[in-house]
Amino acid sequence: MSWRTLRWHAGAVLLLDQRALPEREQELACGTVEELASAIEQLVVRGAPAIGCAAAYGVALAAQRSEARSLAALARELADARARLLRTRPTAVNLAWALARMQRCEERAARAQEASVASVASALLAEAHALTAEDERICRALGRAGAELVPDGARVLTHCNAGALATAGYGTALGVVRAAVEAGRRVSVLADETRPFLQGARLTAWELQRDGIPVTVIADAMAAHLMRGGEIDLAIVGADRIAANGDVANKIGTYGLAVAAHHHGIPLIVVAPTSTLDASIASGAEIPIEERAPEEVSSRFRARNPAFDVTPAELVDAIVTEHGVHRAPYADSLPLALPAGR
């Protein structure tokens, strides 16, 4: 790929600015935790795994920029940084997962012999690099696992952007599409435009077109009509949080898509790394749903803007993680006890 969703450069976090795509490819440099947190809130970087990677770099940034004179002072600054980053987006559990992993790294580094502010900071930067590199490796693994579900000639409907732009690279739902194409299968994609931020019309279409994978954008309201007309074989989506019973929180509109797919006998496949699994909650009822600014929907009239919905597990035909393809009952089949990303 000729672009990166995010990268560390010269002591700052560089984000490919997803608000500007597909018109302009420009990076936004974040030199402070506040700048990075606000970029996450404004969807400069978005998608559950990418948010996790960005947050990890945010903690590394706080440590690199710190002028603390003691480990105790550094620990206080890092706790503040984690709290600020955690507040940015409530639904994607990868954020909390990445921050917890960075906290464990900090505690380990601070316990080492002759630990110093500088040694903890360098351990945290190394951990953010590792977490980000792992994310891309995991996407390739879940892509390979899910590709077996995509037959030659498949016409795949996807929603939002669960691609390279939503991860450190390669993507989750689009990772499966990419892996199927790399395995020699002909695959075409229908991308829901995904109101109101248009992740499908702008981001999914942009990155698939860059890879030469046939993509056609449709308005969200067209999906059921095309299903009824026999124009869709498979629906493949990502996830922002998956409960222990297999209920899936994903971009608003996924639930409606799942109902329509079920009605038409079209399989719905959810693709996510294990860092998106939340073993601490029994069902999707416990998933916090982010309510974004109403102005994103209408600047003129009163509007609502829940950014995610929950699809009940019974509408999900398979969940693909880096460990393979999991089927219902998900409480038994999901790798809930395994540490994420290992």
17 is catalytic: no
Catalytic residue among 192, 240, 247, 309: 240
Residue type, 267: P
- Residue of minimal CB distance from ligand MRU? 238
Whole-number CA gyration radius for the chain? 20
CA distance 293 to 309: 16
**Between 239 and 277, CB nearer to ligand MRU:** 239
Q: Which C-beta is closer to ligand MRU: that of 31 or that of 196? A: 196
Site of interaction with ligand MRU (CB under 6 A):
46-49, 160-162, 166, 172, 199, 237-240, 250-251, 307
State in angstroms the smallest separation of the CB of 239 from ligand MRU.
Answer: 6
Min CB(182)–ligand MRU separation in Å: 19
Any residues with CB less than 8 A from the CB of 66 and at least 6 apart, and which? 74, 77, 78, 117, 121
Nearer to ligand MRU, 169 or 238 (CB): 238
Distance CA(269)–CA(81), nearest Å, equals 36
Structure tokens at 127: 């951990």
Closest separation in Å from C-beta 165 to ligand MRU: 8
Query: Closest separation between CB of residue 166 and ligand MRU, Å?
Result: 4
CA 239 from chain centre, in angstroms, equals: 7
- DSSP calls for 284-316: GGGSPPPB--GGGT-SSS----B-EEEE-GGG-
Shortest Å distance, C-beta 45 to ligand MRU: 8
Locate the DSSP E strands across the chain: 6-9, 12-16, 27-30, 154-158, 187-192, 215-218, 234-237, 241-243, 248-251, 268-271, 277-278, 308-311, 318-321, 324-326
Nearer to ligand MRU, 199 or 245 (CB): 199
Residue type, 201: A
Q: Which is nearer to ligand MRU, 5 or 172 (CB)?
A: 172
| 198-211 b/e (C-beta count within 10 Å ≥ 16 → b) | bbbbbbbbbbbeee
Residues taking part in catalysis: 240
